[in-house]
Amino acid sequence: MNTRSETWIYEKDMAWEPAGAGVVRQIMGYDEQAMLVKVKFEKGATGSLHTHPHTQTTYVASGKFEFTIDGETKTVEAGDGLYIAPDLLHGCLCLEAGILIDCFSPMRADFIEKR
């Protein structure tokens, strides 16, 4: 498994990878310590409830989403951000089509292995 991305990553050269019904992602850079991922959602698509051992921060680049984190549900929209501590149950529902920018630490090796 490659544990470091290329230095320069151009959106036009990156394929969108399936990440669930109505959801695709582009991995925009990573090494063993961190990973940046762009995730595009169609309206009504969900990020199923799940956990992982990674710290996650998310920036809402566009759209509107209902997030549930550790049993608490709130709505976020373009310009908002959120923090998800390791191992917390979380997921989202896309209320208006949009893009999330996720940062994980350490990197999500499972995303690379699926390529």
pLDDT per residue as tens digits for the range 8-29: 999 999 999 999 999 999 999 9
Classified as helix, coil or strand, 110 is: helix
Are the beta carbons of 114 and 108 closer than 8 angstroms?
A: no
Identify the band that residue 3 occupies on the pLDDT scale cut at 50, 70 and 90.
confident
Classified as helix, coil or strand, 107 is: coil
Query: Could you tell me if residue 6 is inside a domain?
Result: no
Query: Could you tell me if residue 54 is inside a domain?
Result: yes
Identify which of 110, 92, 106 has the alpha carbon closest to the alpha carbon of residue 33: 106
Q: What is the pLDDT of residues 51-110, one digit of tens each?
A: 999 999 999 999 999 999 999 999 999 999 999 999 999 999 999 999 999 999 999 999
- pLDDT the model gives residue 81: 98
Query: Could you tell me if residue 8 is inside a domain?
Result: no
The residue assigned the tokens 């509107």 is 64
Identify the band that residue 1 occupies on the pLDDT scale cut at 50, 70 and 90.
low
Per the structure block, which two tokens stand in for 55?
């710290």
Question: Maximum CA pair distance of the chain?
Answer: 38
Which segments of 1-115 does DSSP mark as H helices, in order?
109-113
Q: How many domains does the chain have?
A: 1
